[in-house]
Amino acid sequence: MELAAISNADLVRRCRANEHRAWREFARRFTKQVYGLSLRMLRNASEAEDATQETFLRVHRYLNRFDSCRPLEPWLASIGYNVCLRRLPGLALTGGRTDDESQESGLTGDEEGGNLMEDGASSREEAHLLHLSLSELAAQDRALLHMHYWQGMTVSEMADAVEMPANTVKIRLFRARTRLREVLGPQLGGGATWT
């Protein structure tokens, strides 16, 4: 059976049995998600690559503790989120690159995954403004927006991933969107077209 066609639960079961092909499929399936979240939080391509690698090392170490009855993506996002949070203070001291510099390094919005938020941006310039404006937000708020709009996670899944109450996630998401609208509004002539 082709590994690309199996469910996440079956993939986890095979990874737990230390099937090398299953681990390669796991990395293929989830690297874009983990890297996208890492880049959104850290705003530095090199740091995001390192955080992605560290996340997968932690997944390998702790996969036996994962409850297979639960969805995999929030658990994976939780590990990546916490890895990035630990890296943020050190990144500030080393002069990490901004979102703009990460864009120049060749990463486009399409490479980060399904950009549900960017689908509302009517032009490439607006999408670029969105990326620049995200840098105005706190790393945790960027992470929540990324999980919700780029990864399509529900508030409940995000709450599990960031270990916050669902109501706190809703409030932070609302405030992050409000702040993003404030930053983008003048640049887009009155407001962004996404909700």
CA distances from 73 to 46, 77, 91, 151 (A): 23, 6, 26, 9
Which ranges of 63-165 would DSSP assign to H, the alpha helix?
A: 72-94, 99-104, 124-134, 139-145, 155-162
Domain ranges of the chain: 3-188
Q: What is the pLDDT of residues 29-65, one digit of tens each?
A: 999 999 999 998 998 999 999 999 999 999 999 999 9
Choose which CATH entry (1.10.1740.10, 3.20.20.140, 1.10.357.10, 3.40.50.1240) describes domain 3-188.
1.10.1740.10
Mean pLDDT of the chain: 79
Q: What is the pLDDT of residues 81-104, one digit of tens each?
A: 999 988 886 544 444 443 433 333
| Contacts for 2-9: CB closer than 8 Å, 24+ residues apart | 4/28, 4/29, 8/71, 8/72, 8/73, 9/68, 9/72
- pLDDT-derived band at 151 (thresholds 50, 70, 90) equals confident
